[in-house]
Chains A and B, each alone.
Chain A
Amino acid sequence: MSDTHAQTVAYVRDTMIAETAPPTTEVGVIKWLRENLFSGWMNTILTLASLYVIYWVVSGVGPMFTNSIWNAGSLSECREILALEGLTSHDGFCFGVLKDRWQQLIFGFYPNDAYWRPVLALLVFFVGLTPVLFDSAPRKLFLATAAAPFIMFMLLWGGSIWLPIVVGLGIVVGYVALTYLSPINGLVGTLGAIILPILFWLYLAGPIAGALTSIAPIGLEYVPSKDFGGFTLSVVIGIVAIILSLPLGILLALGRQSDLPIIKYSAVTFIEVIRGVPLIVWLFTASLLLNYFLPPGTNFDLMLRVIIMVTLFSAAYIAEVVRGGLAALPKGQYEGGDSLGLNYWQSMQLIILPQALKISIPGIVNTFIGLFKDTTLVLFIGLYDPIGLAGAIRASTDWNGIYWELFIFIGVMFFIFCFSMGRYSLYLEKKLQREHR
C-alpha cells in the first residue's frame, strides 16, 4: 500500500520536510514589537516619543532614589551627607524621615507598646472578610465575621473587655426574642427583636458591663480616639464607613424607588441634600456646628462624628449607583418576580438585587475608593490623617522643609490600598459574569 506511489509517481516526495522556524519577523518579541509598537510610521514616532519620555522621567527620578539617604536624623544632616558626596538636595531623596517617623505615619500617636493592636485588628478584619469576599472559603468563617466588629473595637480602643461582650449579648437578646416571640405572633416577634435589644443596651448594658468589670477587671489599655492618626485613622474611618454605607445605600436606593410617598421623599431628600453639599462642609458641620447644637459638656467623640458623616455621604452616592443598577434591569424582571408570587422583599432579595448589584459593582467600588481617599479631608478639622501628620512632622525643627519623601510614601500606601480594591472588583465582575458574549 504505502509503496504504491513510490513506484508509480517517482517525483512525489515520500518524506516530510523538517520543520523550519518561522521567519524571525513573525515570532516572539520581534513580532510583538512590530505589531504593537512599530506597525506604521505614526506608531513608530509615538513609540519613540514615549520611550524618550520614559527615559527622561527615569533618568531624572531614578538617581534621586539610588542616591537616597536613609540614615539621617534631620534634614540638615541629610543635606550634609549629600554634600559630602558632592550632591545637592535635588540629587537624592532623604528617606531618613521615614526611618525616623514611619511609626507615626502608620499609627499616629497610638501608644508605642500597643502597635500590635491595630495590626491584629486589621488581620481580624481580613479573616472576617474572607467568607464575604470569596465563596470558596469555609462557611464556618461567618462566625468570625460576626465576631470581628467586637474584636476589632476591643483591639483598637481597648478598655474593659466586658463592654463589647455585653453589647454583643444585646444581639443574642434580640435573637432569643425573635425565636420565642415569633411563634406567638410574627409582628410581636419582629418588634421584640428590635425593641428588647435597644432597651437592653440603654438600661442594662452599662450597669452589667460595669459590674462585670468590677468583678473581673480584664481588658486592654484604653486608647482615646485622639491618639489615632496616620493610616490607622484613615483605614479605620474608611473601613467602618465602607461597611456601613453599603447596606444603607442599598436601602436608600430601594427607598427612592418605593411607591410609598413618605419613604420615597425622605430618601430623595436625604440623597439630594447629602450629595448636594461638599464633604468638607459636612466635616466642618460635624466638628464645629454640632458643638453648638449639643448640650455643653457632651463628649461626642470627634472621630465617631466624622465616621457618621463620611458614612452618610458615601451612602448617598452608593444609593445613586445602586439605583443605576436597578434602572438597568428590564421591567420584565420585576414583573417576573411578581408573577411568581414573591412578596417585595423576596423578589428584591432573590431576583432584583443580585442582578442590580452585579451591574453596580464597578460604580460601588469606585465610590469606595473615592471614600477612602476622601478620608484625608479630615486634615481640615484638625485630625491627623497621613497628610496632617506629614504637616506635623514638618513642624519639628529636624524635618522642617521636607516634602516629597513624605508624599511619596503616602502616595504609595494609598495606591496599594486603592489598587487592591480595584483588582478585587475586577475579580468579582469576572466571577459573576453570566452573559454570553
Chain B
Amino acid sequence: MKKTVFFGALTVAGLAAGVASAATLDDVKARGSLNCGVTTGLVGFAAPDANGVWEGFDVGICRAVAAAIFGDPTAVEFVPTTGQTRFTALASGEIDLLARNTTWTMSRDTDLKFDFVGVNYYDGQGFMVPKALGVTSAKDLDGATVCIQTGTTTELNLADFFRTNGISYEPVPIETNAEAQQQYLAGACDVYTTDASGLAATRATFENPGEHALLPEIISKEPLGPLVRHGDNEWGDIAMWVLNALVSAEEMGITSANIAELSAAPTNNPEINRILGTEGELGAMIGLEADWAKNAIAAGGNYGELFEQNIGEATPIGLARGLNAQWTEGGLIYSPPFR
C-alpha cells in the first residue's frame, strides 16, 4: 500500500517534469520496434518459453500492436515489469505500452496519468480455500489468515470487503503468485485471494485440485486492459483500435485461417472490408498502412483465438469465456463499429 503511494507519487513527479515525449508513434517507428511492458511471468498471460520467446494472452496484444505498425509481430521488445516497476516504466517512457493484466481504476487513469485503451479481460477477485476448512462463503472467513499480493488492487479490495462485512482477517503479504502458491500449500495462510483467473490457473497446477474450492463471492471488478501514457492520444488510439480490431474480427468471423482469403478482395460485408483495409481509409486516419488491422489479426488470431490458445478451456488453465464472451453471446466484450 505504502509502496503503491510512493511509486505513484514518483510517477506524478516524473510527469510534472514533462518527461513524457509527445509523438510515441514516431519514436516507435524510428526505433523499429515496440517496447511492450509485460509481467515477469504469469501463466497464460505472459511467459518466456524454453527459447526465450514470449507467449501469452497479454503478449498477443503486444504482438498485434507491433504487427499493426510494422507488419511484423516479432518487432517487439518485451520489457518484464514487476508490480512496483510497471507504472514508472510506462510513465518514464521506457515502454510504450503496458499489457500486464493491470486493473483499470479511476486513480490510475487520472492521478497516475495513464490512459487505459480498453479491456482485454474482465476479471474479479475471488477466494480459494482448502475444502478441508469447510468454508462455503467468504463471509465465514472471520479471523482467517489471507495470502495477498502487495502493491495490487486486490490488497485494497480485501480490506474493503472485510470492513463492509464487519469481520477480521490477518494478511500474509507476499510478492509473487509463485510465492503465494507455495505459502498457501504449506498452510501459511488459510485463504489465497487474487483475481479469479489467477486462482483457477493456480489451482490447475496443484497435485490435487479437487481438494481446493473457489468461494462463490467475487468481491471486485477487475477489468484488465492495456494502457498507455496520458497525453499522446494518437498513440492511445492505435492501441485502442488494434484491440477493437481483434474483438471485431471475432464478431465478424475473421480468423487467422480465413483472413488471407477475406483480405484478398473486397467481400460483400462492408465492415469486414473496412477493417481489413480493402475499402475506406481507416488506416490512414490513425497514421498506419491500410492493412494495419489485417496484420494485427494475422499476428495471433482474433480475440477469441488468442483467448482459446492461451487461457481458454483447451489449455491447462481452462478458463471459460464467461464475462469475456462477445456481447452477442452474453458477455461484455464489445467493440465500437469500424466506420
Contacts and interface: CB of A to CB of B under 8 A. Distances in A.
Interface stretch (B175-183, B214-222, B241-249): B175-183
B4 interface: no
Interface stretch (B84-92, B118-126, B291-299): B84-92
B75 to A, nearest CB: 15
A423 B48 CA distance: 37
B181 A381 contact: no
Nearest to A73: B50
B82 A400 contact: no
Nearest to A403: B182
A74 B43 CA distance: 14
Q: Which of A100, A390, A396 has the most CB of B within 10 A?
A: A396
B206 A397 contact: no
A109 B51 CA distance: 7
B109 interface: no
B267 interface: no
B85 A109 contact: no
Contacts, number: 110
A76 B316 contact: yes
A79 interface: yes
Contact of B178 (A109, A288, A397, A403): A403
B325 interface: no
A292 B41 contact: no
A341 interface: no
Given A88-B207, A401-B205, A394 B81 contact: no
A292 B207 CA distance: 46
Interface string B39-73: 11111101111111001000000000000000000
Given A109-B48, A109-B52, A79 B207 contact: yes
Contact of B43 (A89, A297, A400, A403): A400
A160 interface: no
Given A79-B207, A382-B82, A395-B46, A112 B51 contact: yes
A116 interface: no
B205 A100 contact: no
Nearest to A292: B14
A226 interface: yes
A429 B130 CA distance: 55
Given A76-B316, A100-B50, A109-B48, A397 B82 contact: no
Contacts of A395: 39-43, 46-47, 178
Interface centre among B21, B41, B181 (most CB of A within 10 A): B41
A392 B14 contact: no
Nearest to A400: B205
B1 to A, nearest CB: 17
Contact of B88 (A75, A100, A109, A288): A288
Interface string B18-34: 01110000010000000
Nearest to B94: A291
Interface in A360-385: 379-382, 384
Contacts of A108: 52
Contacts of A291: 14, 19, 88-89, 92-94
Contacts of B55: 396
B218 to A, nearest CB: 23
Nearest to A82: B207
A292 B94 CA distance: 10
Contacts of A384: 40, 80
A388 interface: yes
Contact of A397 (B19, B44, B46, B48): B44
A391 interface: yes
Interface string A41-76: 000000000000000000000000000000000011
Contacts of A297: 21, 27, 93
Nearest to B315: A397
A203 B102 CA distance: 45
A76 B20 CA distance: 46
Interface in A390-422: 390-397, 400-401, 403
A288 B21 contact: no
A401 B85 contact: no
B178 A394 contact: yes
Given A89-B207, A382-B79, A394-B178, A104 B85 contact: no
B133 interface: no
A380 B84 contact: yes
Contacts of B202: 400
Interface string A106-132: 001100100000000000000000000
A379 to B, nearest CB: 8
Contacts of B155: none
Interface in B170-197: 176, 178, 181-182
Nearest to B15: A292
Max count, chain B CB within 10 A of own CB: residue among A76, A296, A395? A395
For A390, A391, A400, A401, the residue with the greatest tally of chain B CB atoms inside 10 Å of its CB is: A400
A426 interface: no
A112 B50 CA distance: 11
B317 interface: yes
A358 interface: no
Contact of B19 (A100, A292, A396): A292
A172 interface: no
Interface of B: 7, 10, 13-14, 17, 19-21, 27, 39-44, 46-52, 55, 77, 79-82, 84-85, 88-89, 92-94, 176, 178, 181-182, 201-202, 204-207, 315-317
10 contacts: A79-B207, A104-B48, A108-B52, A226-B77, A291-B94, A292-B13, A380-B84, A382-B82, A392-B48, A396-B55
Given A296-B20, A382-B40, 18 more contacts: A79-B207, A101-B50, A104-B52, A109-B52, A226-B77, A284-B84, A291-B92, A296-B93, A381-B85, A382-B80, A384-B80, A394-B43, A396-B47, A396-B49, A397-B316, A397-B317, A401-B181, A403-B182
CB-based closest 4 A-B pairs: A395-B41, A401-B205, A291-B92, A395-B47
